[in-house]
Amino acid sequence: MNQQAIFAPIFVMFLLTLTVWIYMYAHRIPFIIKNNFPPEKMRPLEFARISPPSVSNPSDNLKNLFELPVLFYALGNYLFMTSQVDGFYVFLAWIFAGFRILHSLVHCTINRILLRFYLYLTAAVALWLMVLRAGWQYLGSA
């Protein structure tokens, strides 16, 4: 198996993060300009309180993209460096990336909580399967 195949879903996740970052500022900056907020309204907690969902949800989603995906990036690099990338890992990596894309799409737009949860859960299960399998393989070779 081509070991570099693990990097395609990783780069898709990078592009997702960039896309959400751009989307967040495309909503945040016009909101700030339109309301001409004084500095005290720009403190993080106050700004979060007064922001409508169209402004706060993309920000929350961007923060979320620096949680479980960080483990995904580290694991992908570990698998590559140890030459353990195989079809099953790549399949799970694509499930993770695909469901994270769907999760971000829902979170940044319609934000249906239950749907968003199931999308997140599916991605998380794929990642945890990768982690458990890699751990099992590591312990088996130690």
Instruction: Give residue-wise pLDDT tens across range 56-88.
Output: 999 999 999 999 999 999 999 999 999 999 999
Return the percentage of the chain with pLDDT > 90, whole number.
89
Q: To which residue do tokens 């106050």 refer?
A: 46
The pLDDT of residue 127? 98
3-state secondary structure 21-50: HHHHHHHHHHHHHHHCCCHHHHCHHHHHHH
Range of the domain at 47: 3-141
The pLDDT of residue 42? 86
Residue 142 has pLDDT above 80, yes or no: no
Q: What is the count of structural domains for the chain?
A: 1
The pLDDT of residue 41? 79
The pLDDT of residue 40? 81
Query: Mean pLDDT across the stretch 127-142?
Result: 95
CATH number at residue 39: 1.20.120.550
Find the helix or strand (DSSP H, E) in which 78 lies.
Answer: helix 68-81
Q: How far apart are CA 86 and CA 102, in angstroms?
A: 25
Query: Mean pLDDT across the stretch 93-120?
Result: 98
The pLDDT of residue 39? 81
The CA-atom distances, in angstroms, between 3 and each of 6, 16, 42, 127, 130 are 7, 22, 46, 18, 15
